[in-house]
Structure 1
């Protein structure tokens, strides 16, 4: 009997009923112009403290007025009445209990005091288990709290690194809907967030640098987000510098990111000016197969601009390194290699590069590649290459190529 008397009642609170600031059930829900609803006392305290942003979205408020959310108020009242008469529910797991998180998140949302210590505790909580990370991802207001901490890290490396870890381990690993929400929050506050990420890339541990690069790639989900990342002041040049003396893990992460965010002509020109073609060529000749594929992707991206093609033509071993890798690469990477060779030999008609490729048995290599089966545009590039390279071969291969007629237009000079 004593055992029964000691039991506690547990009620699961719908996340919709919690105030994103206090994490408690809202007594008087009111909505800002951003559409986010808060408890009146919490949001009033936030605004009276001098803030002019919506805590959940980080958007600057054009108006600080709010209106009562009467529908939600009625729903909460009905829920409270039904909960008071219901029986006990299953107790939450100690590791994922809202009681453990609520005070920490309240502090990080509403105060700048001891943010390093608070964020460190949350990061330790996340490291304990995947269940903890899923709980954090679903916890109301957690996403905005982490973004706020990152944006306000103010050269505090511990805060920035822990925020990056949480963004990577909690949001990047926990589904599409969570990812879309965190992307919007970061991109809305991109100047401050990108500054903090650049600070980590310059001063953080190797592990934090790699995680930052992965978070940036996670954010680059479309053209506009990729463009925003590439335009962050000094970011592309900084990333390019890692390729000169970085290890394989960070090289892979950087190459993958650069292949995604280099969507504008100015971004490609900045990378070419940073010496990426020379560095990637050296990597291509000595790296693992996985890294080589990322190198070929990077070169294929740069080959779509005139500056990139010129830099590759001037790099003595670039074309040769591409030829050496093409037959051993995956289908996607081989297509990138074909695009690079076609850009240099056919689009630019660079005689020096053409002769170099021909010396390396280029005709035979391209014929071998063609046997893999391709989409029409890749096959067209291969046929163009064979025509050009055959003309450069001193002894020829006696191939009858007159039946092939191509109109390769997928790469246009810019």
Structure 2
């Protein structure tokens, strides 16, 4: 940043005063920009002049970029700044606007009067008032203040950074918890409105800090988010699942708490079966993945998802979804197939084996790992599951051979893979090799002119 700025400044000295080429009718006319109207960093006409504690004036965007890069000194004087909050220079801004008006005939447009950005003190005051209003259960005042905070964030990136750096995520999370603990019994539109507004604001602060996620992970907060996720309003469902994903991803211990909340798993499945848009669908899949794959999950959770008809929905999603969704759906299916009921549902679906084999080496490394893992679980013999299960396994093995799994798995070993994938692939090849005679042998030369499907 320093070297880049010095090169630009040096170039400015060599070139002298910057000039604007204008259309003067008879020929080109050059209009000189007064040097004190130009930012010392960008060398462009200042649109929002601000002054540092050293007395030097810069364009706000340029100096904020300088400070955000980690610099704590004035670029011109090299003095350490006593405050990193630049002060609007209204005098210079008015002079620049007047100059623009005077040269309007040359095509110069007047710079608009910039909005005064929110200060750190103002942010702290708003957050304090939000906390007070939430503790008093004054929902209307709390909602008004949260909306004001959101509007400030939307005005500029500088406002957003300033609000985030003053602990807004933690304050909003605490307000949500305070209100949700009092709203547990009744959820009418008036009561849900402020909770929805707080969730909407929290999504602007992703990734949430650990303190905020800890507060939102409390039982009352989770309960409220599930109720909002069940509601028919699309934005409520979207924001709720996005925040829940943040909580579960960083704290798998919350999986059990989520599973115990009535309607939570049903609401997640509904987001898969009745998708709103890709973002909440992916978030829902990630929450499910943690619920079926974490060390804190259990077969009871997996079996409940099976009973809700999730397996067919996942297989349909895997067939036609984009890469990111496909990866996550395969991850959830892999977790579900860890239980007996999940495997039984997979055995009974005609899409299972063809789709899994097709996704090997076609989507991503993770999709290949999940696909091989699921096939391995479906083809692995288990002594404690009886003869009926053994028959299903043999049928699955034969079907895998028929759709080209053997050749795909050989390629997985050839292109290189991790130790776990290598081990599962090698085991699968041994199992498949035992049953290759059940499948009609075909001379590969008959297909020498066909392009490979991978």
Same fold flag (TM > 0.5)? yes
**Alignment check: 8 A CA contact 1:127 1:133 kept:** no
User: 1:90/1:194 Cα in 2 relative to 1: closer, same or farther (>3 Å)?
Assistant: closer
d(CA) in 2 for partners of 1:195 and 1:207? 17
**Alignment check: 8 A CA contact 1:147 1:163 kept:** no
> Per-residue displacement from partner, 1:207-257 (whole Å, max 9, x unpaired)?
432222121111112331222223222211221122112143332221122
1:88 CA displacement: 9.7
Partner of 1:120 in structure 2? 147
Report how many aligned residue pairs link the two structures.
306
**Alignment check: 8 A CA contact 2:311 2:345 kept:** yes
1:325 CA displacement: 1.1
Partner of 1:212 in structure 2? 240
Partner of 1:98 in structure 2? 121
Match of 1:236 among 258, 265, 273: 265
**Alignment check: 8 A CA contact 1:319 1:357 kept:** yes
SS at match of 2:253: helix
Q: Structure 2 matches for 1:67-146, cutoff 5 A?
A: 94-99=117-122, 100-101=125-126, 102-114=128-140, 115-128=142-155, 129=157, 130-137=160-167, 141-146=171-176
Partner of 1:316 in structure 2? 350
d(CA) in 2 for partners of 1:139 and 1:284? 35
Partner of 1:259 in structure 2? 289
**Alignment check: 8 A CA contact 2:245 2:284 kept:** no
d(CA) in 1 for partners of 2:402 and 2:86? 73
Partner of 1:193 in structure 2? 221
1:123 CA displacement: 3.4
d(CA) in 1 for partners of 2:174 and 2:203? 14
d(CA) in 1 for partners of 2:361 and 2:291? 27
Q: Structure 2 matches for 1:358-377, cutoff 5 A?
A: 358-377=401-420
User: 1:142/1:280 Cα in 2 relative to 1: closer, same or farther (>3 Å)?
Assistant: closer
**Alignment check: 8 A CA contact 1:149 1:163 kept:** no
TM-score (norm: length of structure 2): 0.61
1:287 CA displacement: 1.4
Partner of 1:226 in structure 2? 255
Higher RCO (CA < 8 A, seq sep 6+): 1
d(CA) in 2 for partners of 1:355 and 1:269? 26
Structure 1 gap ranges (5+): 1-9, 11-86, 399-414
Partner of 1:166 in structure 2? 201
User: 1:336/1:120 Cα in 2 relative to 1: closer, same or farther (>3 Å)?
Assistant: same
User: 1:331/1:152 Cα in 2 relative to 1: closer, same or farther (>3 Å)?
Assistant: same
d(CA) in 2 for partners of 1:358 and 1:139? 53
**Alignment check: 8 A CA contact 1:390 1:396 kept:** no
TM-score (norm: length of structure 1): 0.66
**Alignment check: 8 A CA contact 2:369 2:421 kept:** yes
User: 1:321/1:257 Cα in 2 relative to 1: closer, same or farther (>3 Å)?
Assistant: same
d(CA) in 2 for partners of 1:88 and 1:328? 54
> Per-residue displacement from partner, 1:106-151 (whole Å, max 9, x unpaired)?
3233342524334333333344442244145258855422332344
Larger Rg: 2
